[in-house]
Structure 1
């Protein structure tokens, strides 16, 4: 007679996070907390995958009991070509961070970064409205594209963007339309004048990265300022914005909120993003 204990893990859904490297990821701690909190028999593990092995790994994961996965650097763009179904928002952003392995064997790719970005603002700045005035986004990489898409979808009527390599910002304008206005990197400080929402969507200011050097004199008190960087939690960018009387939102909440839709799809329970979760993930 088979040992029931040895059989049960085969039926527990498994999800994980794919990246290279992946040891630094906070996602296992985040999802592990939710699994424990809601008493769900499931697993969430880090899956280190070198770029050249990504296609092979994705093919075998469903047969190993995986119901889905998060995707992080450097695979967020590559998985789009390997997925069978790509949501409109993932296609528009040009990257996926959430995969669902469907029962029919197809891989469904989505991007929840924009959802996480907006949900973080709405939780921590409940009086914020997208149409209060222009939004200014610093950066034009994958994270910035998710931010731009979500701000425009939320009702921002004018979106200003600048990037050290201007052509990447120009590409965003060509794809997202006339509401996007491109500024030269040298004019980043001017871009903040009259802005109601300001976002650092670069990695500048992160531990181990160069500082973000953007003049902030034009920031008006009461402006909503947020930084996607969360190591450190209080970046120099947010410190200065706070000193200028701005309303600030740190970047950790975006990480927490973007994880919720995937968890719900994989494990069947909509999780809560609260102070307890923040404390667990910060460790």
Structure 2
């Protein structure tokens, strides 16, 4: 039998994970398979019982809406997943019991490694969105010493996320509409500081309205980071470049989080020297 892993969700047809993992498996010459599987909320428990008994199953990536619901079906939860309160990767332990982790935080931070390796006088991130992806981003950036401003349509939800996920530090919640209109705020000297503006919402994704963000709210030399990858060059990123900011697109996080899961599933690091080829394939 062939070793295999899955990505599950509802819906799941849009997932690019099979393309990513399949690309790496082919490059490495590994005899294994990675498949997308449609799993509803009602079928989640049965699915996990099924694959947990299969010795050829190596793991499963979890997409919406199961990232939190799956936790109750796992025997083990690592510190990262517990802190985030969501699981995006399930794998079998040696005794075939199910364990969960979350690679979203590491995947999000990967393209920021150079900046994070440096010392800064101050680090601030404006996180736009309060959904599932924002949970991992809040935990990741709080751990890296950022002061956070979380913006959402529901101010109470934004505050609750900070209280739950980053209770230490002077973080702030604000309504998303605050950033839609221009400001004449005079930023202080940002030399030696690291500023991020992160779209952690689905706004700007194909089929959704664009994110209304006026770049007068961003300090000079900010980094604009959009986790949306369809389209890859969102209006959010285009406007950021026009305002003179560096940009990071959603494929960076997508590939980064997949890399951690791949090694866990198949026992070898993915061949990241082919990232440019992979990106071109994902953009077709």
- 1:225 Cα shift? 0.8
**Hey, what does 2:23 align to over in structure 1?**
33
1:85-111 per-position Cα deviation (integer Å, ceiling 9, x unaligned):
111221222211101112312111111
Selected match of 2:160 from 146, 166, 171: 171
Which one is further off, 210-219 or 68-77?
210-219
Q: Hey, which of these two has a bigger chunk of helix by percent?
A: 1
Q: How far, CA to CA, are the matches of 1:272 and 1:138 in structure 2?
A: 32
- 1:44-59 maps to which residues of 2 (within 5 A)? 44-59=34-49
- 1:90-169 maps to which residues of 2 (within 5 A)? 90-122=81-113, 126-127=114-115, 131=120, 132-156=122-146, 158-169=147-158
**Hey, what does 1:241 align to over in structure 2?**
240
1:246-274 per-position Cα deviation (integer Å, ceiling 9, x unaligned):
01111111000101111111111111332
Give the TM-score normalised by the residue count of structure 1.
0.89
**Hey, what does 2:78 align to over in structure 1?**
87
Tell me, what secondary structure is at the counterpart of 1:52?
Answer: coil
Q: How far, CA to CA, are the matches of 2:152 and 2:186 in structure 1?
A: 17
Q: How far, CA to CA, are the matches of 1:52 and 1:181 in structure 2?
A: 37
Tell me, what secondary structure is at the counterpart of 2:42?
Answer: helix
- CA 155–193 in structure 1, closer or farther in 2 if over 3 Å, else same: farther
1:180-233 per-position Cα deviation (integer Å, ceiling 9, x unaligned):
21123332356x975711101000011101221122223233211100111111
Q: How far, CA to CA, are the matches of 2:84 and 2:186 in structure 1?
A: 27
Give the TM-score normalised by the residue count of structure 2.
0.89
* Stretches of structure 2 lacking an aligned partner (at least 5 in a row): 188-193
**Hey, what does 1:253 align to over in structure 2?**
252
Q: How far, CA to CA, are the matches of 1:71 and 1:279 in structure 2?
A: 24
* Stretches of structure 1 lacking an aligned partner (at least 5 in a row): 1-9
Q: How far, CA to CA, are the matches of 1:209 and 1:186 in structure 2?
A: 17
- CA 252–198 in structure 1, closer or farther in 2 if over 3 Å, else same: same
Tell me, what secondary structure is at the counterpart of 1:90?
Answer: helix
Q: How far, CA to CA, are the matches of 2:93 and 2:31 in structure 1?
A: 19
- CA 209–258 in structure 1, closer or farther in 2 if over 3 Å, else same: same
Tell me, what secondary structure is at the counterpart of 1:208?
Answer: coil
- 1:281 Cα shift? 2.3
State the aligned residue count.
Answer: 268
Q: How far, CA to CA, are the matches of 2:119 and 2:174 in structure 1?
A: 20
- CA 39–94 in structure 1, closer or farther in 2 if over 3 Å, else same: same
Q: CA RMSD in A?
A: 1.8
Q: How far, CA to CA, are the matches of 1:193 and 1:135 in structure 2?
A: 17
Q: How far, CA to CA, are the matches of 1:162 and 1:193 in structure 2?
A: 20
